[in-house]
Amino acid sequence: MRQHLPRVAVPRFSTYLRCLDELGPGIEHISSDRLASLAGVSPAQLRKDLSYFGSYGVRGVGYRAGVLRDEIRRELGLTREWPWVLVGVGNLGRALAHYAGFAEQGFRLVGIFDIDPDKVGTMVAGQRVEPLESLARAVRARAARIAVIATPAEAAQGVANLLAESGIASILNFAPTILHVPDAVNVRRVDVSSELQVLAFFLHEAAVPAP
Amino acid sequence: MRQHLPRVAVPRFSTYLRCLDELGPGIEHISSDRLASLAGVSPAQLRKDLSYFGSYGVRGVGYRAGVLRDEIRRELGLTREWPWVLVGVGNLGRALAHYAGFAEQGFRLVGIFDIDPDKVGTMVAGQRVEPLESLARAVRARAARIAVIATPAEAAQGVANLLAESGIASILNFAPTILHVPDAVNVRRVDVSSELQVLAFFLHEAAVPAP
DNA sequence: CCTTGTGAAGTGGTTCACAGCT
DNA sequence: AGCTGTGAACCACTTCACAAGG
């Protein structure tokens, strides 16, 4: 089929990949029913998603797990390295810096930055924390295309401005605020408060059904 | 209009609320154009969203900021308290426990749990860390309906099982794994690896356009 | 005159149901 | 016989464009 992937399918592929990895190398073949149930989507959804890349299944049998994993990794662009920088070394920043899973996926942390002079120079996850003034230069010199912001809300927009000027392509924002950046910069937000509010809404809705 | 809210609109309301809060109490009225641009959505989208709750705007003028804020809070179910528990006291769990923003929104942390005996009994964010064995009883006794899992991937499903048995209604899962729970339990996932992969895909796609 | 509120049209994504292979 | 691959039908959400109203 080979037509372009719907935006919303991208995170699903990420999930499929994780499920395949969790299966381990022992599994040779897997059916759409089985993988879909692991991933929490419908079998039709899974087959449709996989069909965007072409036909990698075997009718009557299922998908070759190894082939499928490699194919998804190739299509998502995970066969190369993606250097990224981290800004903000609070508890959250530290957790992100230490998370080894990123490196396994090809995400290589090439710089950690903070505005606090007490933190600059300390070691986090084997790297020296650098001052914010070095950020723009480092992004360019180390060819980082992705930045993760884990600062307090008040600092986030300033950091985003610095990053935008330095030519960063993508920002993952953990600060609880909406960033305004040029169109060329792709922002994704992870907002824990918002996630809790969504859960609360569904509880609330179940208790107080709409009139 | 007063028809039911589309699922995907719920996180947007959370965003609108944040924007209104950031405006401060000085602003009396705000137009859909202005608020939409702050929130990063189209003005039509904003007006449509607000219309699901009824008519709270003034034609020719805009929305009364205070009224709107109260209305959104009421509709999202944020006028009451939501007790929640945290499981897992790594860097991420610690960051979550310390984040004061939750409490302001009515999310009251009523228990922190970990399986590691070295962590049990220590103080985190002013609370004593409790052993995993106390989890189910505490959830019931303290009427927690929401749980946040911030354990390693391997431990998450076991914790989810405990939580499901204890009658929890909603889980926010930070562990990089897919949880399988009864239908009665509502799970939302925050998967940082996946977010990075999505960003990588868009970069990859821009560099290697689909044939 | 300005800005909201909203049916109607448009878009994008999901599900269905079955043809096509092995 | 069993499971994939996919056009077609369906559904949910978004955008448009303009009527309604202070």
Q: Do B208 and A77 touch (CB under 8 A)?
A: yes
Residues of A in contact with B107 (CB under 8 A): 193, 196, 200
Q: Could you give the percent of chain B with pLDDT greater than 90?
A: 91
Query: Could you tell me which residue, A17 or A100, shows the higher pLDDT?
Result: A17
| The pLDDT of residue B117 | 98
> Does residue B210 surpass a pLDDT of 70?
no
Quote the minimal CA–CA distance from A14 to chain B in Å. 6
The whole-number pLDDT of residue A55 equals: 81
Q: Work out how many CB contacts closer than 8 A connect A with B.
A: 196
Residue A122 has pLDDT above 90, yes or no: yes
- What was the pLDDT predicted at B158? 98
Regarding pTM above 0.85, the answer is yes
Over residues A189-193, mean pLDDT: 96
**B101 shares contact with chain A (CB less than 8 Å):** yes
CB A85 within 8 A of CB A135: yes
* Chain A positions in Cβ-Cβ contact with residue B194 (cut-off 8 Å): 11, 14-15, 18
Report the pLDDT value the prediction gives residue B82, as an integer from 0 to 100: 98
- Cα A81 from Cα A151, distance rounded (Å): 25
What proportion of chain A, given as a percentage, has pLDDT over 70?
Answer: 98
- Of A44-48, A100-104, A128-132, B142-146, minimum mean pLDDT range: A100-104
Protein chain B, residues 39-78, with a C-beta closer than 7 Å to any atom of nucleic acid strand D: 41-42, 44-45, 47-48, 58-60
The model's pLDDT over A36-60, given as tens digits with 9 standing for 90+, comes to: 999 999 999 999 999 999 888 999 9
Evaluate if residue A5 carries a pLDDT over 60: yes
A178 → closest Cβ in B15, B105, B191: B15
pLDDT of residue A208: 75
Residue B170 has its nearest CB partner, among A146, A148, A199, at A199
Asked if the Cβ–Cβ distance from A92 to B90 is below 8 Å, we say: no
Give the gap in angstroms from C-alpha A134 to the nearest C-alpha of chain B: 23
Closest CA to A175 of A195, A192, A199, A198: A192
The Cα B201–Cα B178 span in angstroms is 21
B5 pLDDT higher than 70: yes
- Residue B44: pLDDT band (50, 70, 90) is very high
Q: What is the DSSP letter of A144?
A: -
Is it the case that residue B177 has pLDDT exceeding 80?
Answer: yes
**Residue B25 pLDDT:** 87
Interchain contact A154–B (C-beta under 8 A): no
Across the interface, whether the CB atoms of A170 and B38 are under 8 A apart is answered no
Rounded mean pLDDT of B146-173?
Answer: 98
pLDDT at residue A107 tops 60: yes
Q: Assess whether pLDDT exceeds 70 at residue A143.
A: yes
pLDDT for the residue numbered A188: 97
B14 touches chain A (CB under 8 A): yes
> Would you call B137 an interface residue with chain A, using a CB distance cutoff of 8 Å?
no
How many angstroms separate the CA of A35 from the C1' of C22?
20
Instruction: Return the pLDDT at A56.
Output: 87
Nearest CA in chain A to B4: A210
CA of residue A11 to C1' of nucleotide C8, angstroms: 32
Which nucleotide does the CA of A34 lie closest to, via C1'?
D3
Exposed/middle/buried for residue B64 (C-beta within 10 Å: 0-12, 13-18, 19+):
middle
pLDDT of residue B2: 73
Query: Which chain A residues are closer than 8 Å to B156 by Cβ?
Result: none
Q: Is the CB of B52 under 7 A from strand C?
A: no
The candidate with the shortest Cα–Cα distance to B63, out of B84, B95, B33, is B33
Q: Where are the alpha helices (DSSP H) in chain B?
A: 9-23, 32-39, 43-51, 65-76, 91-98, 101-104, 135-141, 153-165, 192-207
Share of chain B above pLDDT 70, in %: 98
Q: What is the mean pLDDT of chain A?
A: 95
Residue A1 pLDDT: 66
Q: What percent of chain A has pLDDT over 90?
A: 90
pLDDT bracket for residue A209 (50, 70, 90): low
Put simply, the chain A residues between 19 and 48 with a CB less than 8 A from any chain B CB are 19, 22, 38-40
More confident residue, A138 or B3: A138
B13 touches strand C (CB under 7 A): no
Number of Cβ within 10 Å of residue A100's Cβ equals 7
Instruction: Provide mean pLDDT across the span A115-126.
Output: 98
Taking a C-beta distance cutoff of 8 angstroms, is the pair A46, A36 a contact? Answer: yes
Predicted pLDDT of residue B24: 87
Distance CA B154, CA B168 (A): 20
* A 45-104 residues, CB < 7 A, strand D: 47-48, 50-51, 55-63
Residue B5's SS3 state is: coil
- How many angstroms separate the CA atoms of B6 and B16, rounded? 15
CB contact A54 to B (< 8 Å):
no
pLDDT tens digits along B53-112: 988 899 999 999 999 999 999 999 999 999 999 999 999 999 999 998 899 999 999 999
Mean pLDDT across the stretch B160-185?
97
